[in-house]
Amino acid sequence: MNRRVRKAVLPVAGLGTRVLPGAKTTPKNMLNVFDRPILSYVIEEGRAAGIEHFVFIVGRGQGAIEDYFDAAPEIENALEAKGKADILAEVRRDLPKPGQMSFVRQMAPLGLGHAVWCARDIIGDEPFAVMLPDMLMAAEPAALAQAVSAHDQVGGNIIVVEPAPEGEAHKYGIVDLESQTGRLNRMRGMVEKPAPGTEPSNLFISGRYVLQPEIFPLLEKQGKGAGGEIQLTDAMAELMKVQPFHALEYEGVTYDCGDKIGLLRANVAFALRHPSLGADARAAISGLL
């Protein structure tokens, strides 16, 4: 029986360069997608995958994230007094139980590998998930739940992948498969931001992982890789020498909210799927075309 995945690491410290100026005073993952922040969707996905503890790797000026996941008595009391139970429920929907979230300062922007390494003490000695919150994934079952099921099935390390748009593979981490049958395939390599034309496949690492804790000592020793940053992909490539890795081509749609057009697409897509406002959203959007 493979050990249960209970904790997820969410690296959120990035500057949000591609979504400035919106991300100047609001942490980029707190930007709204229709009626709630990006992180609200990511937490919902994590909970659907059985995650019980979320570890945020934050930077300076990101206190809004902690505040969002804390009680807000002045707002909640006012809504209660006015009898606005529906809005109150929305305000409270993402609240954890006390003790179910941790916030760790990354202290220096040294790369994704360094961000994940910052969670080592809180994760301890158990398998864990990594969720890159820029990437919103609309999927049923939830994208991370698909990865956790794959982990239940084959154990080891799971990387969620999907085909990169034509000509864009060099912007991502790319996996190399032993052979391809179905959606879950054993890997034989991976490379972070390969030079154009040298990509081993068109399957890119799209932002959900299940990793074994043996990644941490490797991250500690990991030197700088692509872009001069400590790359998670490089440490995973090291771990693959001693542990199996499978790539899971998940079923769903990814929206890159770290990009203005990706964020716009997510806004439209999640507005259209909204349980009570979807029809009004559709009418409003069609009226613009």
Point out which residues bind ligand G1P (CB under 6 A): 112, 132, 135, 172-173, 192, 204-207, 231-233
C-beta of 14 vs 79, nearer to ligand G1P: 14
DSSP state of 200: S
CB of 110 to ligand G1P, least distance (A): 12
Q: CB-hemisphere CA count at 13 Å for 56?
A: 26
> Residue 33 or residue 132: which is nearer to ligand G1P going by CB?
132
Closer Cβ to ligand G1P, 208 or 271, answer by number: 208
What's the length of the chain?
Answer: 289
User: What does the buried/exposed string (b/e) look like for 106-123 if buried means 16 or more CB atoms within 10 Å of the residue's CB?
Assistant: beeebbbbbbbbbbbeeb
Rounded CA gap, 42 and 24, in Å? 21
Using the minimum distance from each CB to ligand G1P, give the nearer residue, 11 or 127. Answer: 11
Task: Using CB atoms within 10 Å of the CB of residue 14, give its burial: 0 to 12 exposed, 13 to 18 middle, 19+ buried.
Answer: buried
**Residue 161: CB minimum distance to ligand G1P, A:** 9
At closest approach, how far in Å is the CB of 193 from ligand G1P?
7
Least distance from ligand G1P to the Cβ atom of residue 2, Å: 24
Closest-approach residue to ligand G1P (CB): 173
Q: To the nearest whole angstrom, how small is the minimum distance from the Cβ of residue 208 to ligand G1P?
A: 10
Report, in Å, the least distance between residue 126 CB and ligand G1P.
23
Q: Which is nearer to ligand G1P, 8 or 135 (CB)?
A: 135
Q: Is 204 exposed, middle or buried (0-12, 13-18, 19+ CB in 10 A)?
A: buried
Give alpha helix (H) positions in 93-175.
112-117, 120-123, 143-154
Comparing CB distances to ligand G1P, the nearer of 30 and 247 is 247
| SS3 label, residue 135 | strand
